[in-house]
Amino acid sequence: MQNYINQLSDDILEACRVAEIQDQLNSHEDDDEGEAAIQSAENFVYGDTEPLSSITGIAPIVLPPPERLTQEQKSQLAGVLEKLLIIKKFLPEFPHQLPMHRRYQFLREMWSEEFAPPLTGHVHVQFCQYIPEECPFPEYCDHCGEFDDNIVEIHSPFDEDDFNDDFDPNSFFDGPAPF
């Protein structure tokens, strides 16, 4: 199996090399950065999506199931897959302390997901939903706690009953409503 992992790693690194060359060639075509940013935002929201495997050129079937790999093999593949994603303008967001071998399963699972290929900037790929009870990295996550610390409860000065069918917005003004 190690020979296969080494060959696959080499293939992914070759895809990285090709992607870097394409990116360099494409960067000379962008004269108007503002226009490119607008096109990229529109593409992200409204653009056609395609499987990540099509964007990267690495078919999901070539990525072995995690249970068939050693920790070292998972680490090896996770490292080159992350490198390819970053070159293709995808930033997988993992907790800083998460071991590389634990990343492989998440990277492999996203390989069949669909994305709009980024034209400029980067697409941040999040695996944590910021809900501590549902966190996939409970012992490593530095995102959930950070989010919990920033939650502020907002209290409305109105009761739920204030907004019924009889609600009159003019009741908030002393004189005629300004609208």
CB 72 within 8 Å of CB 101: yes
Instruction: For residue range 121-147, list pLDDT tens digits in order.
Output: 788 888 877 777 888 888 887 767 665
Residue 120 belongs to some domain of the structure: yes
Residue 18 belongs to some domain of the structure: yes
Q: Number of structural domains, the chain?
A: 1
Residue 6 belongs to some domain of the structure: yes
* Sign of the Cα pseudo-torsion (165, 166, 170, 171, in order): negative
3-state secondary structure of 15: helix
Which pLDDT does position 96 carry in this prediction? 86
Of 142 and 4, the structure prediction assigns the larger pLDDT to: 4
Instruction: For residue range 74-99, list pLDDT tens digits in order.
Output: 999 999 999 999 999 999 999 888 99
3-state secondary structure of 84: helix
Domain ranges, residue 122: 2-129
Residue 103: pLDDT over 80: yes
Q: Is 125 left (phi over 0), alpha (psi -120 to 50) or beta?
A: beta
Residue 43 CA, chain-centre distance (Å), reads: 15
Query: In this structure, what token pair is assigned to residue 113?
Result: 């997901």
Give, for 124, the enclosing helix (H) or strand (E).
strand 123-126
Residue 41 belongs to some domain of the structure: yes
CB 134 within 8 Å of CB 143: no
CB 138 within 8 Å of CB 129: no
Helices (H), the chain: 2-27, 33-46, 52-56, 71-87, 100-110, 144-149
Residue 176 belongs to some domain of the structure: no
Residue 97 belongs to some domain of the structure: yes
Instruction: For residue range 31-47, list pLDDT tens digits in order.
Output: 566 666 666 666 666 66
Residue 167: pLDDT over 70: no
Q: Per the confidence metrics, is the pTM higher than 0.85?
A: no
Report d(CA 82, CA 65) in Å as an integer. Answer: 17
